[in-house]
Structure 1
Amino acid sequence: MTDSSLAPPPRLLDRVRERIRVLHYSIRTEKAYADWIKRFILFHGKRHPQEMGAEEITAFLSYLAVDRGVSASTQNQAKAALLFLYKEVLCIDLPWLQDIVTAKASRRLPVVLTPHEVRDLLHHLDGTHWLVVSLLYGTGMRILEALHLRVKDVEFERREIVVREGKGNKDRITVLPENLIMPLQTQIEHARLLHESDLKKGLGEVWLPDALARKYPRAATAWGWQYVFPSPTLSTDPRSEKTRRHHLYEQTVQRAVSSAAKRAGITKPCSPHVLRHSFATHMLQAGYDIRTIQELLGHADISTTMIYTHVLNKGGRGVRSPLDSL
């Protein structure tokens, strides 16, 4: 028997992943942080982070901004990963890291489709992709919020959808469009048949947050917890190594939207998130108050929602050009 005391200590990136999982960060954050820490180490010739400090971190972040030309949000994510490494993994108190200048994101107006463009886009989609994109435009949900949707959170009688663990780990309620009730019921029936088939094969588990999985061990196979938009294929969870049916892959929806926009002749940059911007702007145009839209979108600050007041279709902030009076 091998003496466990002689086993080599875990590698740094393994320690990072372990700490991230203890703190219940998402798998996306885990991958992003591990990647940035690896890049930081390689940038400095594979030196151990414990041997480095403010000078090396500043040099790396400057390299990203100046040489690589990354966006402010990307640079800030890299900084957050390094802050996590030093504070949570290496347990080194480095107050100077907080003082490193954070890149300021540029203030840009969101891309918004006209109602006619939305109709054209949806016309060039079909099946599940049509339903997902219609849901994004009809509810203002983010793409992952729609794909994470569980059967139990669709309230047909009250015509509402409960968005669980949205951005900022907050729950909220948004509207369920009447035109999507029957298509959603059909989709949920398809998901039920798929789930029953999985159960007969000894499968049928869905991913649940760790705390919930411990509290309700049988919930993973319960019908209400299944995804409304299950993946057509099974996959292995990279953390637990269990075989499960995850939700529809977000990249497939992104590609479908991009392809549909081209076929529809839409020249604006078009992604699933554009439908969320369009929802908010068109709600404002319809006369709904800004506070209602803030709640539906799940914005913590009203100033975030106010950006949509600048893209209303009023022609230059509603001002009449003197040229039109000639």
Structure 2
Amino acid sequence: MQKNEPRLRDQVRAVIRVNRYSIRTEKSYWYWIRFFIRFQNMKHPREMGAREVNEFLTWLAVRRNVAAATQAQALNALVFQYDKVLDKPMGDIGEVIRSKKPRKLPVVLTHDEAMAIINRLGETDRLIASLLYGAGLRITEACRLRIKDLDFQQQVVTVRDGKGAKDRTTLLPAPLLAPLQCHIDTIRKAWREQDKAFLHPVSLPFALARKYPNAGRTLEWQWLFPSPSISTDNLGNVVRHHRHITSVQKAVRNAVKQAGIGKQAGCHTFRHTFATELLKRGTDIRTVQDLLGHSDLRTTQIYTHVLGQGFAGVRSPLG
């Protein structure tokens, strides 16, 4: 490390936030960067390069038997570190043994099973799970919705900074219009009356917080599903964050047990079910791809295999 140079973690954090990557991406990238450094006996990445990265990725596939997507995620983190943070592009890392761990088909629910789980949740968690199933949202995307992200007139949900730092729009289900309007009216009333829950601003994206420090007190930037407790943001300010993802995941797991559904289902299962239900009802796969926010159609095509439609309509000679 050069004299007076910031710690590597601080450098990584600064570059990620300038590029407006999500907090989950930040945590994931730092996990793999730290893992790489420990694997290479705590050498600083500046002292290493393509050869060491090749060794690490090959070890993940051969010795750890990670999935192909996990190996790719580790590579993305290390490429980001060298290209964006250290300004030392790796170039060609040579032949890497690719992970051959087979990708499992996702677990999906029937419509009745999905509704049985949703109906066993408390009011707020029921709204969140309904958006997972009815709009195909990821749990992080649902919890991070703000009031301004719902367009009731067009019946559209705008997902900001989704996976890959991309924005997209998806369906706002008609059955949720009234419950969500009522939910927002409750937030609006408390906001106008300056309820103690609004004594502190909501947390904001890093760049926006610096440019518009008062935006966190406006109604449109309020979280749709705020956390019941306050916390501190990345700048050390006391703020209100969105509902914690793990609390929703725990509630859904409990509801799955109560519903007696013998499947390994969780929050993400609702998104899988959204996709399969749309395809089952004749929705074009390109439209499903857009609604899910998949950059590669092959990711969406996994759901055709779940439905047994992966053979271009070929019928068995048995009938």
For residue 47 of structure 1, what is the aligned residue in structure 2? Answer: 43
Of the candidates 278, 281, 296, which is equivalent to residue 286 of structure 1?
281
Q: Please give the per-residue CA displacement for 1:11-66, whole angstroms capped at 9, x wherever unaligned.
A: 22222223323333222222222222222222222222222233332332233233
Superposed displacement of residue 267, structure 1: 1.9
TM-score under structure 2 length normalisation: 0.85
Residue 236 to residue 196, structure 1, CA distance change in 2 (3 Å) = farther
Amino acid at match of 1:68: R
For residue 113 of structure 2, what is the aligned residue in structure 1? Answer: 117
TM-score under structure 1 length normalisation: 0.84
- State whether residues 149 and 229 of structure 1, in contact with CA within 8 Å, keep that contact through their aligned partners in structure 2: yes
2:154 & 2:15 partners in 1: Cα distance? Answer: 41
Task: Identify which range, 40-49 or 196-205, moves more after superposition.
Answer: 196-205
Superposed displacement of residue 83, structure 1: 1.8
Q: Please give the per-residue CA displacement for 1:229-256, whole angstroms capped at 9, x wherever unaligned.
A: 111111111x211111111111111111
For residue 130 of structure 2, what is the aligned residue in structure 1? Answer: 134
Is 2:236 the partner of 1:241?
A: yes
For residue 269 of structure 1, what is the aligned residue in structure 2? Answer: 264
Residue 123 to residue 291, structure 1, CA distance change in 2 (3 Å) = same
Following TM superposition, where does structure 1 have runs of at least 4 consecutive aligned residues deviating by more than 6 angstroms? none
Residue 186 to residue 310, structure 1, CA distance change in 2 (3 Å) = same
**Count of residue correspondences:** 316
Equivalent residue runs for 1:1-326 within 5 Å: 8-97=4-93, 100=96, 103=99, 106-193=102-189, 195=191, 203-237=199-233, 239-312=234-307, 319=315, 322=318
Residue 104 to residue 111, structure 1, CA distance change in 2 (3 Å) = same
2:105 & 2:198 partners in 1: Cα distance? Answer: 50
Superposed displacement of residue 133, structure 1: 0.5
Superposed displacement of residue 321, structure 1: 8.7
Amino acid at match of 2:137: M
Superposed displacement of residue 113, structure 1: 0.5
- State whether residues 76 and 102 of structure 1, in contact with CA within 8 Å, keep that contact through their aligned partners in structure 2: no
Q: Please give the per-residue CA displacement for 1:180-229, whole angstroms capped at 9, x wherever unaligned.
A: 12221232233335545767688432233344345544322110111111
- State whether residues 206 and 226 of structure 1, in contact with CA within 8 Å, keep that contact through their aligned partners in structure 2: yes
2:53 & 2:132 partners in 1: Cα distance? Answer: 39
Aligned Cα RMSD in Å? 3.0
Q: Please give the per-residue CA displacement for 1:110-150, whole angstroms capped at 9, x wherever unaligned.
A: 22101121122123222211111011111111212211111
- State whether residues 83 and 97 of structure 1, in contact with CA within 8 Å, keep that contact through their aligned partners in structure 2: no
2:159 & 2:113 partners in 1: Cα distance? Answer: 26
> Which blocks of at least 5 consecutive residues in structure 2 are unaligned?
none
Residue 292 to residue 8, structure 1, CA distance change in 2 (3 Å) = closer
1:212 & 1:290 partners in 2: Cα distance? Answer: 36
1:125 & 1:318 partners in 2: Cα distance? Answer: 41
> Which blocks of at least 5 consecutive residues in structure 1 are unaligned?
1-6
Mark the structure with the bigger radius of gyration.
Answer: 1
Q: Secondary structure at the match of 1:232?
A: strand
Identity %, equivalent residues: 48
